Amino acid sequence: MTVRHDQLVQLLAKFFRNVGAVVHVEPRIFDTNRLRPDLDILFADQHILVDVTVVHPASPSRTSRVELAAATAAEAVKTRQYSEMASLNSAKLLAFAVESYGAFGKQAAELVQILRRAADRTLMLTSMSGDYAIQALAVALQKGNCHVIRAGAIAARAAEIAQ
């Protein structure tokens, strides 16, 4: 699951760098609590903090059948976790919450719109035209899902052999 998350983080960083933003990716230190969001994005006129999360809407802990309920709940958790830091840095905080089936949360969609506007301002007509960013992020998410499924299958087989 970490690979899936990190692929999305790196892809977002690449897209924002391509449209002229300065992007800092927070390093991952295992077995520690994260104190900062995944991405710190700086434009000349805007400062955005982004934390990426992937949630599974059909997991047993999810009881709501409302569309995007899992992504909305994840956005709320990230907002509580990092809102103080964002206000101290005069930054806008956005949780890039996507559901494992492919749905983008409201704040994730807002971040994609910011990316599109930045691409329009810089006249990036090649790699950022149309829905390329959304398509690339969706493909990265599904590739990550394949990694999660494969790792689960390997672990299940190893547990069977150990019995």
Tens of pLDDT along 52-81?
999 988 887 777 778 898 999 999 999 999
Helix (H, G, I), strand (E, B) or coil at 52: strand
- Mean pLDDT taken over the chain: 88
Residue 116: which region, alpha, beta or left (left: phi > 0; alpha: psi -120 to 50)?
alpha
- Residue 160 CB partners (closer than 8 Å, separation 6+): none
pLDDT-based confidence at 46, cuts 50/70/90? very high
Asked if 39 and 50 count as a contact pair (C-beta separation under 8 A), the reply is yes
Phi, psi (deg, nearest 5) at residue 84:
-65, -45
The residues pairing with 93 across neighbouring beta strands, listed in sequence order, are 49
Q: What is the pLDDT of residue 66?
A: 82
DSSP strand E in the chain: where?
A: 22-25, 39-42, 47-55, 92-99
Token output for 69: 């309920």
Token output for 134: 């959304």
Q: What is the pLDDT of residues 98-148, one digit of tens each?
A: 999 999 999 999 999 999 888 888 765 555 655 788 889 999 999 988 988
Asked whether residue 28 carries a pLDDT value surpassing 90, the answer given is: no
Torsion sign (Cα): 3, 107, 71, 145: negative
> What is the topology classification, in CATH, of domain 2-162?
Trna Endonuclease; Chain: A, domain 1 (3.40.1350)
Burial zone of 11 (CB within 10 Å; 0-12 exposed, 13-18 middle, 19+ buried): middle
d(CA 106, CA 71): 8
Q: What would the mean pLDDT of 144-153 be, rounded to a whole number?
A: 88
Q: What is the pLDDT of residue 159?
A: 87
